[in-house]
Each structure stands twice: as structure tokens, then as C-alpha cells.
């Protein structure tokens, strides 16, 4: 449980800007408040990142690789769509977070490679993991989910459960996943849901100290 | 007077043994609060230990100016160690140390009977389930329950004698002389914000003991019903520091003692206490203090029960616990 608090600060930092996929299938980045479905807005970030995009429909998964950025369409008529963005290497210095390549090695407090995945369920019964990278799913069918209900969220990496991921709902950390990669999250409101998780992987013999995965799960609740 | 010792020990064992500290320590600055006297519905994390210390200092009303043996004060220290055997089952052992002082300078002190406790944790989440290993904050909003059982073994001294060789009052002894048993249950509801409601009830019973002088005594059964509201009033999330304020209502029913099979005079009755308190939690350390005040009493022989529960001016209570 202590891990929750150790990671809380990092989770909060990462939550400064959030990614989500809107109803039209576009990737968005900005500040997504508690009343997400009513108050979302876009920021001006327009940068292309190496990416993998996935669209699952009728059980089949299409994969597209290539540069991708905010306000671009992840998918259209997908039951489930997901994009993985390789945001690059970063370093924390006394003067802020900068690209690792720009940091003075003598001033680096911490460094990491940032990988962001954003997934949207358009058809809630298609809730199983895609099995691609770090992602959030449900462990049972969320169809019929209503505000006030509690759901079991599943964190996986390439389909395998991941323990110790810090999970937040609407920006509020609710806990860490157990050995089976599970945690219960209560849906607080109707509309667009924003469930996020952070996973850290220490690296050795690498330019940065760790790899930091962030995963977002979006779905609409009536 | 006889009820003071027995009643207070069982209160220590049942209500103080595990009241909520683990949940606060585990949850840090968020999660349910824990009152001072009312038992909250927490179990220890699997494989974790809890060290526990409690002081209950009671000051009694006296009715004469003479030094005539009225109960003046008691200090009940409780040392405890808990272990989380599973996420839903915790076990504790408590060692009480009591000091009882009369206004004529008579004082008795020593270790009382060792107390063992087991706690079973339950949660209501689409039905009753055993307490879970990895709870999210959203899980903590579910109704939580515990069922607990206590037992004491007669390791204390129940045969203390005065300078003249006469057996002192059983209420002044530092042991029951026989085992005792208690069962109880608690419920906790955290509302997902600053407020938590906690309630518990318990029943305990004593076995008849025959003293060296041939007197047979059975302490009366006891029933406790407690309710508390706790509010988080201050927090520093980065430092994992929080302060909670609690207000409790503590009801205690004392059955009449039986001496040689006959109901003993000046024993038994009902008391309702009000207990305001503050708790400070820093990381896995928690300290709480409060004052327990008898608000309403209905004792069997009110005028003769000086030194009994319900006849305190106040009880000052302090607890400290740490999880490791």
C-alpha cells in the first residue's frame, strides 16, 4: 500500500495533461475535469510521435504504425480503438522537466522514457484486453454500467496482468492493482469516463533510469 | 467499586484492542477515520504487525473530605501486539498494567490478566465477503464489518491481601482469577469524504471465582454499544499527515455481581458516556487522545457505588500505535 503514496506524486504530475479519445474517435490532450463530458477542452499541442494504432471490430484487430498526434483520428467504426504514443525521453531537473537530450547531465534528478496508451470502448461488450502494451480493460462486461456502480478494472501488459499499477479515476488516485492486475473503481457520473493508470519499469544499461507507462481507458456511461 | 477493575479491563480488550488504527495507517491521508473508543472495522494487512499502547486515566468523584478509602484514581495501561494472519483475520495479544489508588493512599498496581483477541473482517459488496487484500479507496466506501472474540487467562494476581492478611476487595485485585470471554461486532461506513460512521456492540461474561477466603464471586455480564462520527479536519497529503476529530456515544450496561450466588449490593447499572477526541496520523504512526465523560447514569445503588463506572469526573484516554 505504501507504493500508492510513493507514486501518487508522479501520478499527479502526469495528470497535468491528459489524453483521451472523444466520441468522433479523435485523440485529444488537455485538462479533463471531474465533469469530463461537459467541460473537456483541447490544448494547442500539435506534435507527431511514433505510434501504434489498433482498431478491433468483429473480433479482428487492425494495426497501423506511424507518426501520430493530437486531434488526429485514431479510428472510426471500431468496437475498441487504442493508440500507443512513444513520447520520448525526459529528465527532471531543478528547473523543470525537459527532453532528456536537452538536460545537463549534472543537473538531472530523474529520467524516464514516456509511453502513453489511450483506449476507447465504443461497444462496451468488447471489454477484453487488446493484448498490446500497457492497457486498461474490464474483467467483466461493463454493458449496463450506471453512475454509482463499481467495476473491476484490469491492468495488463501485452495481455498479462500487471500488479502495482497506480490507478486514478477522474484524476483521483484510488489505489494500486493487485497480483492479478485488478482494482475496483466506482463510476461517479454519466458521460465520458476517464480511468488512468501508471506503471514504472526500472531500466538498466539505458540512457534513462526507467520506463514510465501511462494508460487511459475511455468509455461512455449513460 | 468491584466493577471498576473488571469492566475496565474488558473495555480495554475489546474496544481498545484494534479500534481502527490499522485502517488509518494503511490508508494514509485518505480513507475512513477511526474514533477513540468505538471499534472500527479494520483488520491488519497480511503479514504486518501492530504495536499498541493505551493509557486510560480515570479520576473519580469523592463524596467525603475524609481519607476514608474512596476511590481516587485509576491508571490503566495496555500494551498490545497484533498480527495480520490473512487480509481478513487478525490476532492480538494484550498485556494490561493497572494502578488503582484510594484517597487514603492505598494503592494497588500490577499486570492484569493477559488478553487474546481474534478479529474477522467482512465487507458488504454485492453480498457479504471476507475482507480483501487490496482495497481501492472506492472499495473502502463499502460497508465494512468485523466480528471479534476475546478471552482472558488468569495470569494476574486475584488474591492480594492487605497488611493485616485480609483479602482486599475483588475490585482492587489485578486479576479475575478465572478466564473471561467476550464476543462483539463492529460496522464502519466511510462516506468517501471527510466523514466516517462507526458503531460496535459487544457482550462479555465472567466465570465464578472462589477466593482464598472461600468467597465466591461472579462479575456481572457486560454489554457495550458504541457509536461514533469521525471527521477529517486537517490533512497534508504530501507528508501523509492527517488529523481527525471524533464524537462518540458509549453505552455500557453492567450486570449485577453475584457473591455466593446472591446479587451483590452496590454493583451494576447503565452508563452513557460522551467522548470527544482527536487523532493524529503520520504515515504508519497514529496517536489519539480524548476525554470520556459520563453523561447519563442509572446505577443500581447510585449512592453506594463511588468508584464505579459512571462515577468518574472524567477519563482521559491516550493511544499510540504503529504498524510495521
CB-CB neighbours of B33 under 10 Å: 29
Inform me whether the C-beta atom of residue B237 falls under 8 Å from chain A C-beta atoms.
Answer: yes
CA distance A47 to chain B (A): 33
CA distance B107 to chain A (A): 46
Query: Which residues on chain B are in Cβ contact (under 8 Å) with A185?
Result: 136, 138
pLDDT at B239 over 90: no
Please tell me which of the candidates A5, A174, A177 has its beta carbon nearest to residue B240.
Answer: A5
Inform me whether the C-beta atom of residue B138 falls under 8 Å from chain A C-beta atoms.
Answer: yes
pLDDT attached to residue B103: 86
Cell digits of residue B267? 454493583
Q: Do B136 and A174 touch (CB under 8 A)?
A: yes
How far is it, in rounded angstroms, from Cα A16 to Cα A213? 15
CB-CB neighbours of A40 under 10 Å: 18
Query: Which residues on chain A are in Cβ contact (under 8 Å) with B238?
Result: 9
pLDDT at B147 over 50: yes
pLDDT at A123 over 90: yes
pLDDT band at B22 (very low <50, low <70, confident <90, very high): very low
pLDDT attached to residue A39: 46
- Mean pLDDT over all residues of chain A? 85
Looking at the DSSP bridge assignments, the partners of residue A215 are A117, A197
CB-side neighbour CA atoms (13 Å) of B93: 2
pLDDT attached to residue B242: 92
Nearest to B317 by CA among B99, B100, B78, B94: B78
The per-residue pLDDT for range B305-320, each reduced to its tens digit, is 888 888 999 999 999 9
Query: Which residues on chain B are in Cβ contact (under 8 Å) with A5?
Result: 28, 240
Query: Which residues on chain B are in Cβ contact (under 8 Å) with A173?
Result: 137
pLDDT attached to residue A33: 58
Residue of chain B with shortest Cα separation from A179: B134
pLDDT attached to residue A119: 96
pLDDT at A37 over 70: no
Inform me whether the C-beta atom of residue A178 falls under 8 Å from chain B C-beta atoms.
Answer: yes
How far is it, in rounded angstroms, from Cα B267 to Cα A3? 52
Please tell me which of the candidates A4, A173, A184 has its beta carbon nearest to residue B139.
Answer: A184
Q: Do A175 and B136 touch (CB under 8 A)?
A: yes
Nearest to A38 by CA among A197, A198, A191, A222: A191
- Mean pLDDT over all residues of chain B? 86
How far is it, in rounded angstroms, from Cα B119 to Cα B45? 12
CB-CB neighbours of B127 under 10 Å: 6
How far is it, in rounded angstroms, from Cα A48 to Cα A114? 14
For chain A, percent of residues with pLDDT exceeding 90: 56
Chain A residues 98-157 within an 8 A CB cutoff of chain B: 150
Cell digits of residue B247? 464524537
DSSP 8-state symbol, B322: E
**What is the rounded average pLDDT of the residues A36-51?**
62
The per-residue pLDDT for range B72-88, each reduced to its tens digit, is 899 999 999 999 999 99
The per-residue pLDDT for range A102-122, each reduced to its tens digit, is 877 788 888 899 999 999 999
pLDDT attached to residue B2: 37
Whether residue B292 contacts residue B317, with contact meaning beta carbons closer than 8 Å, is answered with yes
pLDDT attached to residue B210: 94
pLDDT attached to residue B216: 93
pLDDT at B13 over 80: no
Size of interface A-B (CB pairs under 8 A): 41
pLDDT band at B18 (very low <50, low <70, confident <90, very high): very low
Q: Do A150 and B138 touch (CB under 8 A)?
A: yes
- In terms of pLDDT, which residue wins out, A41 or B136? B136
Inform me whether the C-beta atom of residue A87 falls under 8 Å from chain B C-beta atoms.
Answer: no
Inform me whether the C-beta atom of residue B135 falls under 8 Å from chain A C-beta atoms.
Answer: yes
CA distance A164 to chain B (A): 10
pLDDT attached to residue B200: 94
Q: Which of A161, A184, A193 to mutate to test the interface with B (most CBs of B within 10 A)?
A: A184
Q: Do B45 and A175 touch (CB under 8 A)?
A: no
Looking at the DSSP bridge assignments, the partners of residue B119 are B90, B148
pLDDT band at A16 (very low <50, low <70, confident <90, very high): low
Inform me whether the C-beta atom of residue B137 falls under 8 Å from chain A C-beta atoms.
Answer: yes
The per-residue pLDDT for range A57-73, each reduced to its tens digit, is 987 999 999 989 888 88
For chain A, percent of residues with pLDDT exceeding 70: 86
Query: Which residues on chain B are in Cβ contact (under 8 Å) with A184?
Result: 125, 135-136, 138-139
Please tell me which of the candidates A5, A8, A183 has its beta carbon nearest to residue B136.
Answer: A183
- In terms of pLDDT, which residue wins out, A60 or A7? A60
Write down the residue that cell numbers 485502517 correspond to: B23
pLDDT band at A170 (very low <50, low <70, confident <90, very high): confident
CA distance A217 to chain B (A): 17
Please tell me which of the candidates A9, A174, A182 has its beta carbon nearest to residue B138.
Answer: A174
The per-residue pLDDT for range B87-129, each reduced to its tens digit, is 999 999 999 999 999 888 888 999 999 999 999 999 998 899 9
Amino acid at each position: 500500500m505504501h507504493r500508492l503514496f510513493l507514486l501518487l506524486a508522479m501520478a499527479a504530475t502526469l495528470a497535468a495533461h491528459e489524453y483521451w479519445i472523444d466520441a468522433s474517435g479523435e485523440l485529444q490532450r488537455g485538462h479533463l475535469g471531474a465533469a469530463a463530458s461537459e467541460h473537456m477542452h483541447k490544448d494547442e499541442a500539435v506534435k507527431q510521435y511514433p505510434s501504434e494504432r489498433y482498431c478491433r471490430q468483429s473480433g479482428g484487430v487492425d494495426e497501423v504504425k506511424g507518426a501520430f498526434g493530437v486531434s488526429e483520428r485514431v479510428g472510426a467504426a471500431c468496437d475498441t480503438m487504442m493508440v500507443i504514443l512513444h513520447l520520448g525521453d525526459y529528465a527532471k531537473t531543478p528547473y523543470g522537466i525537459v527532453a532528456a537530450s536537452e538536460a545537463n547531465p549534472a543537473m538531472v534528478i530523474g529520467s524516464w522514457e514516456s509511453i502513453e496508451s489511450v483506449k476507447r470502448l465504443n461497444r462496451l461488450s468488447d471489454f477484453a484486453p487488446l493484448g498490446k502494451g500497457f492497457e486498461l480493460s474490464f474483467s467483466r462486461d461493463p454493458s449496463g454500467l450506471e453512475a454509482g456502480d463499481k467495476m473491476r478494472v484490469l491492468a495488463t501488459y501485452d495481455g498479462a496482468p500487471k500488479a502495482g499499477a497506480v490507478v486514478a479515476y477522474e484524476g483521483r488516485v484510488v489505489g494500486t492493482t493487485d497480483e492479478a492486475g485488478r482494482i475496483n473503481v466506482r463510476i461517479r457520473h454519466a458521460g465520458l469516463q476517464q480511468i488512468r493508470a501508471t506503471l514504472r519499469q526500472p531500466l538498466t544499461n539505458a540512457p534513462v533510469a526507467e520506463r514510465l507507462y501511462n494508460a487511459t481507458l475511455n468509455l461512455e456511461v449513460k | 467499586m468491584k466493577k471498576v477493575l473488571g469492566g475496565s479491563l474488558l473495555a480495554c480488550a475489546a474496544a481498545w484492542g484494534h479500534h481502527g488504527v490499522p485502517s488509518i495507517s494503511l490508508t494514509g491521508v485518505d480513507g475512513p477515520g477511526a474514533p477513540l473508543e468505538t471499534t472500527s472495522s479494520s483488520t491488519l494487512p497480511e503479514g504486518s504487525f501492530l504495536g499498541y499502547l493505551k493509557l486510560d486515566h480515570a479520576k473519580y468523584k469523592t463524596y467525603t473530605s475524609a481519607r476514608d478509602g474512596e476511590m481516587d484514581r485509576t491508571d490503566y495501561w495496555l500494551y498490545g501486539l497484533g498480527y495480520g494472519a490473512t487480509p481478513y483475520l487478525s490476532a492480538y495479544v494484550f498485556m494490561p498494567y493497572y494502578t488503582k489508588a484510594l484517597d487514603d493512599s492505598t494503592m494497588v498496581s500490577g499486570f492484569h490478566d493477559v488478553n487474546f483477541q481474534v478479529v474477522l473482517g467482512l465487507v458488504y459488496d454485492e453480498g457479504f465477503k471476507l475482507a480483501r487484500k487490496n482495497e481501492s479507496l472506492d472499495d473502502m466506501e463499502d460497508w465494512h464489518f468485523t466480528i471479534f472474540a476475546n478471552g482472558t487467562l488468569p495470569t494476574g494476581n486475584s488474591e492480594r491481601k492487605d497488611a493485616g492478611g485480609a483479602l482486599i476487595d475483588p475490585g482492587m485485585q489485578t486479576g479475575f482469577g478465572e478466564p473471561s470471554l467476550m464476543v462483539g461486532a463492529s460496522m464502519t461506513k466511510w462516506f468517501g469524504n471527510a466523514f466516517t460512521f462507526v458503531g460496535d456492540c459487544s457482550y462479555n461474561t465472567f466465570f465464578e471465582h472462589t477466593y482464598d477466603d472461600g468467597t465466591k464471586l461472579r462479575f456481572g455480564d457486560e454489554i457495550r454499544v458504541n457509536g461514533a462520527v469521525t471527521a477529517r479536519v486537517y490533512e497534508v497529503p504530501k507528508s501523509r499527515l492527517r488529523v481527525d476529530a471524533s464524537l462518540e456515544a458509549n453505552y455500557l450496561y453492567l450486570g449485577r455481581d453475584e457473591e455466593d450466588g446472591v446479587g451483590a449490593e452496590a454493583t451494576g447499572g447503565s452508563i452513557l458516556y460522551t467522548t470527544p477526541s482527536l487523532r493524529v496520523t503520520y504515515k504508519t504512526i497514529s496517536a489519539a487522545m480524548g476525554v470520556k465523560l459520563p453523561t447519563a447514569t442509572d446505577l443500581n445503588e447510585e449512592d453506594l457505588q463511588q468508584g464505579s463506572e459512571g462515577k468518574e469526573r472524567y477519563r482521559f484516554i491516550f493511544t499510540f500505535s504503529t504498524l510495521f
